[in-house]
Amino acid sequence: MDLWEKFGMSEGIAELWQELGISAGTAIVVLIALYFVIKWAVKNGMMEAYKKIEEKKAQHNLKEDKTVSDLKPGNEES
């Protein structure tokens, strides 16, 4: 029994993999590895974007705090 039939793959897809010389087991391992690589890349990309957003928020908050403290009475230098 062919593994492609066991996994219920259509004949066209099975022929494509067989023409490439890839067995069903190898294809599964490659797809699982590809899944984890993409998952890792997306996770790192989101974390990097989140850090940049937090940095922008912190800079904006510092700028607002400085502006507010400049407007408060009693901070005048004379």
What pLDDT was estimated at residue 13? 74
Task: With cut-offs at 50, 70 and 90, classify the pLDDT of residue 8.
Answer: low
Q: DSSP alpha helices (H): ranges in 20-74? A: 24-71
What's at 77, amino acid-wise? E
* pLDDT given at position 17: 75
When pLDDT is averaged across residues 4-33 and rounded to a whole number, the result is 78
Distance CA 40, CA 48 (A): 12
Distance CA(54)–CA(1), nearest Å, equals 56
- The ranges assigned to domains in the chain are 3-71
Residue 12 CB: number of other CB atoms within 10 A?
A: 7
Give, in order, the Cα–Cα distances in Å from 69 to each of 26, 44, 61, 65, 72: 64, 37, 12, 6, 5
Look up the pTM and report it.
Answer: 0.55
